[in-house]
């Protein structure tokens, strides 16, 4: 099992994704061979939309949030 297969198993779960300069919290929508797609809350004074596309190579770690 590789990293992408592991993360795909958590599709639909709330996750925290750490990149080199940011911590992004949202719901994991999908994972493909190069990126991760998350539904995130709107960002004040940020770009419109509620989806974040994060390249896999920029991810430092992913934390799966559970109750």
Each residue's pLDDT tens digit, 20-60: 989 999 999 999 999 999 999 887 887 778 899 999 999 99
**Token pair 């949030």: residue:** 65
* pTM given for the model: 0.84
DSSP secondary structure of 8-52: HTTTTSEEEEEESS-EEEEEEEEE-SSEEEEE-PPPTTS-SSSEE
Q: What's the CATH number where 46 sits?
A: 2.30.30.100
Residue 67, pLDDT score: 67
Q: How many independent structural domains does the chain possess?
A: 1
Confidence of residue 19 (pLDDT cuts 50, 70, 90): very high
Confidence of residue 3 (pLDDT cuts 50, 70, 90): confident
Domain that holds residue 55: 3-64
Residue 47, pLDDT score: 74
């Amino acid at each position: 099992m590789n990293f992408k297969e592991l993360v795909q198993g958590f599709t639909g779960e709330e996750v925290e994704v750490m990149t080199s300069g940011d911590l992004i919290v949202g719901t994991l929508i999908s994972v493909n061979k190069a990126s991760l797609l998350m539904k995130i809350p709107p960002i004040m004074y940020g770009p419109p939309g509620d989806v974040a596309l994060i390249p896999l190579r920029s991810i430092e770690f992913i934390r799966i949030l559970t109750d």
